[in-house]
């Protein structure tokens, strides 16, 4: 080990001097940004870059499906195709075939994700959400409220109790009304079985015998392994009807059954159809604009090439100057004989060709 001159006094004393290793240099933020940019530039031309942003875009569009149940549904339906087109275009995509392929990948991921979120939300729900009619007693003679089913989740062959409360604007008895459970059974992709069940008034001990203060109606049904939807309706036997619902439930089928159901519903929903049609409309406008711009550029290029070409008049040879005799130019003719058309000079008294005499 070398010892510097400043430590030479310690050489004779037998004391060894060791230099501590230098601490590692910290990396600055600018260096990290430069390294990240270098890695990104290497990653961007690869196929995995396109796969990555298409997957992320599909996740974003899938999350937007949740907002279609909000008052912003119209904006969301427009935002879904716009984002599916703008993001690849901003990243440099310009091929029409790839834009069409992007639609398939993005919306396929979005539909799969949206169906999974809908299935998870339904299976996480423990109790039924109380249903009520859209009308109230201010504009309708009757109203339904607190329409529920108990239990909400149970295995097949379980007896489920459906209950709803009827309230009227005037004093009346439950016997003057007919309340129904409208149960829908999903038997297949396009096969539904709708079954109305008459509900019975639940005694005076549980509810009032006066419908103005609220009367309870119930019905019990044993259900099998299937997907169900339920709603309630009531009539006063005078052609007046009021409805409450519908809603999915009760839950007796497996999670995979509901997942397949939500895949079908989401894939063929109005939201998906409108988003796909809007995407193709945007794609057509972009393609048409690009073609029109390209045609205009070509027309301008052809016009510029034509302006550079020599014209036919310029290509003709310029007339040769008049021959000179004795070093002097020939005199230009001033008149034309009206008899034979020969050229004559101003000083001629008669035509040198036909001999016609000119009058002054």
**Domains in the chain: ranges and CATH:** 46-127+255-287 (no CATH), 142-249 (2.60.40.10)
Average pLDDT over residues 277-293: 91
Neighbours of 99 (CB within 10 A): 20
pLDDT of res. 343: 75
pLDDT digits (tens, 9 = 90+) for 84-106: 999 999 988 888 889 989 999 99
Q: Which tokens hold the place of 174?
A: 């439950």
pLDDT band at 219 (very low <50, low <70, confident <90, very high): very high
Question: Looking at residue 323, what is its pLDDT?
Answer: 46
Give the position of tokens 């119930």.
218
Residues 232, 183: contact at Cβ < 8 Å?
no
- Asked if the bond preceding 246 is cis, omega within 30° of 0, the reply is yes
pLDDT confidence of residue 324? 47
Element (H, E) at 194: strand 192-198
- Residue 25 buriedness (CB in 10 A; 0-12 / 13-18 / 19+): exposed
pTM, two decimal places:
0.69
Residue 24 reports pLDDT greater than 70:
no
Q: Rounded to an integer, what distance in angstroms lies between the CA atom of residue 219 and that of residue 197?
A: 8
Model confidence over 117-153: pLDDT tens digits?
A: 999 999 999 899 999 998 888 888 899 999 999 999 9
pLDDT of residue 300: 86
pLDDT over 70 for what percent of the chain?
A: 83
Res. 313: pLDDT tops 70: no
- Binned at pLDDT 50, 70 and 90, residue 230 comes out as very high
- pLDDT for the residue 21: 61
């Amino acid at each position: 080990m070398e010892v510097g001159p400043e430590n030479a006094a310690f050489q004779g004393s037998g004391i060894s001097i060791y230099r501590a290793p230098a601490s590692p240099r910290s990396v600055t933020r600018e260096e990290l940004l430069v390294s990240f940019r270098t890695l990104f530039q290497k990653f961007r031309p690869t196929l995995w870059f396109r796969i990555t942003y298409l997957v992320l875009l599909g996740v974003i569009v899938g999350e937007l499906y949740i907002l279609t149940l909000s008052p912003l549904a119209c904006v969301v339906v427009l935002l879904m195709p716009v984002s599916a087109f703008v993001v690849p275009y901003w990243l440099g995509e310009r091929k029409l075939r790839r834009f069409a392929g992007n639609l398939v990948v993005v919306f396929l991921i979005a539909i799969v994700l949206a169906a999974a979120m809908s299935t998870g939300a339904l299976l996480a729900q423990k109790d039924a959400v109380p249903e009520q009619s859209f009308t109230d007693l201010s504009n309708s003679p009757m109203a339904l409220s607190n329409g529920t089913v108990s239990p909400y989740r149970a295995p097949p062959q379980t007896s489920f109790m459906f209950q709803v409360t009827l309230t009227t604007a005037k004093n009346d008895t439950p016997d003057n009304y007919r309340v129904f459970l409208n149960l829908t059974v999903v038997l297949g992709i396009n096969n539904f079985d709708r079954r109305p069940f008459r509900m019975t008034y639940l005694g005076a001990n549980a509810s009032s015998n006066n419908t103005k203060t609220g009367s309870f109606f119930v019905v019990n049904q044993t259900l099998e392994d299937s997907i169900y939807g339920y709603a309630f309706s009531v009539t006063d036997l005078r052609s007046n009807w009021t409805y409450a619902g519908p809603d999915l439930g009760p839950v007796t089928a497996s999670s995979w059954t509901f997942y397949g159901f939500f895949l079908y519903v989401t894939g063929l929903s109005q939201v998906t159809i409108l988003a796909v049609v809007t995407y193709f409309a945007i794609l057509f406008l972009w393609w048409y604009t690009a073609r029109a711009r390209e045609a205009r550029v070509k027309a301008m290029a052809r016009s510029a090439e034509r302006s550079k070409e020599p014209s036919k008049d310029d290509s003709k040879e310029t007339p040769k100057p008049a021959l000179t005799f004795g070093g002097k130019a020939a005199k230009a003719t001033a008149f034309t004989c009206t008899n034979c058309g020969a050229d004559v000079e101003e000083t001629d008294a008669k035509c040198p060709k036909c001999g016609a005499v000119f009058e002054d």
